[in-house]
Chains A and B, each alone.
Chain A
Amino acid sequence: SYELTQPLSVSVSPGQTASITCSGEKLGDKFASWYQQKPGQSPVLVIYQDTKRPSGIPERFSGSNSGNTATLTISGTQAMDEADYYCQAWDSSTVVFGGGTKLTVL
């Protein structure tokens, strides 16, 4: 079965750039999406179709996807961006989520 692998945690200083990776076989041939989930809240879509931002999502969130890796980049990271982030893709009649990455802003 298809798998997506994310780092368990990423740390970043306020104002710096955070990059969260998501790896899967030939992931670049599929569309990747990203979700932000804060404690006690439902997930929120932040990137879809590799690079697109839904309305209301700040411009500091961006995405890329090539080869075996999709990347979520947060430029000028703010304290409010501290959350769990999940990547997601669709493969062979199955939706797959990555295991999630805890982003710490310190």
Chain B
Amino acid sequence: EVQLVESGGGLVKPGESLRLSCAASGFTFSNYGMNWVRQAPGKGLEWVSFISYSRRYIYYADSVKGRFTISRDNAKSSLFLQMNSLRAEDTAVYYCARDPSKGNPNPNWFDPWGQGILVTVSS
């Protein structure tokens, strides 16, 4: 069974940092691009970042560019999101999601999604 499990969320103050992790299982992680998508409380979905299977292609939403860094460890089937200079508007549930289009350098669609992890930025 394909499974994605996020961890590392919590409550932080504005300006602080946090690192999210996503542990993947049930598929060959190194063959697939991966994404982070977030959802603020009561709001819609917002894509955050994509990393291709080879790490060669990385994209960010304008709202996080320069503050967030996506990375992956294919040997450990893990995806990461380093979030620096956090703001109140970064408060959201963060999902990791696989791009099922195997070997594609760009994000296409997302399946499956993890259960999500809450990040709260508040003083």
Contact of B44 among A86, A93, A94 (CB under 8 A): A86
Q: Mark A73-106, 1 if CB is under 8 A from B, else 0.
A: 0000000000010101010011111111000000
- Expressed in whole angstroms, the minimum distance between the Cβ of A83 and any Cβ of chain B is 13
Q: Tell me the bound Cα distance from A84 to B43 in angstroms.
A: 11
Could you list 20 further interchain pairs (A-B, Cβ under 8 angstroms) beyond the known A44-B111, A86-B45? A1-B62, A31-B108, A42-B113, A42-B115, A43-B45, A43-B110, A44-B113, A45-B111, A48-B108, A49-B108, A86-B44, A88-B45, A88-B47, A94-B47, A94-B59, A95-B47, A95-B59, A96-B47, A97-B45, A100-B45
Q: Is the CB of A45 within 8 A of B109?
A: yes
Q: Does A65 contact B (CB under 8 A)?
A: no
Q: Mark B78-103, 1 if CB is under 8 A from A, else 0.
A: 00000000000000000100001000
- Expressed in whole angstroms, the minimum distance between the Cβ of A55 and any Cβ of chain B is 10
CB neighbours (8 Å) of B61 from chain A are 94-95
Interface residues on A, range: 20 to 34
Q: Tell me the bound Cα distance from A88 to B45 in angstroms.
A: 10
When A48-B108, A90-B106, A94-B59 are in contact, do A43 and B47 touch as well, CB less than 8 Å? no
CB neighbours (8 Å) of A31 from chain B are 108-109
